[in-house]
Amino acid sequence: SQTIHQWPATLVQPVGSPLSLECTVEGTSNPNLYWYRQAAGRGLQLLFYSVGIGQISSEVPQNLSASRPQDRQFILSSKKLLLSDSGFYLCAWTAGISEKLFFGSGTQLSVL
């Protein structure tokens, strides 16, 4: 069966520090991968998605970047965090176009 791993679960980082969040999927190949961010009590904002290794589509220009170095690995990064980067970050995958998403358990990021 397929599983998605996302870590860490909680992260507290100072302003200006770097960020690396990792997400891996097991039990499937060539998934579409997604990074979403959720502000407290709000909906989900699509940040990045990827349909293949090295293929990244950015939805919102901002302080973050994403990479897909391997088929089932998706990384969210920042060189210098801002206060506004705080939020709940969710990784998700889908088997194909228009199919349902499977979400990771999320990372609560607090930038202080």
Partner 1 sequence: SQQGEEDPQALSIQEGENATMNCSYKTSINNLQWYRQNSGRGLVHLILIRSNEREKHSGRLRVTLDTSKKSSSLLITASRAADTASYFCATVAQGGSEKLVFGKGTKLTVNP
List contacts with partner 1 (CB under 8 A).
6, 32, 34, 36, 41-44, 46, 49, 51, 57, 59, 88, 90, 92, 94, 97-98, 100-106, 108
Q: CA separation (Å) from 107 to 9, 20, 52, 95, 96?
A: 4, 11, 23, 22, 24
- Residue with Cβ nearer partner 1 (18 or 27): 27
- Residue with Cβ nearer partner 1 (42 or 79): 42
Please, what is the minimum distance in Å from the beta carbon of residue 66 to partner 1? 14
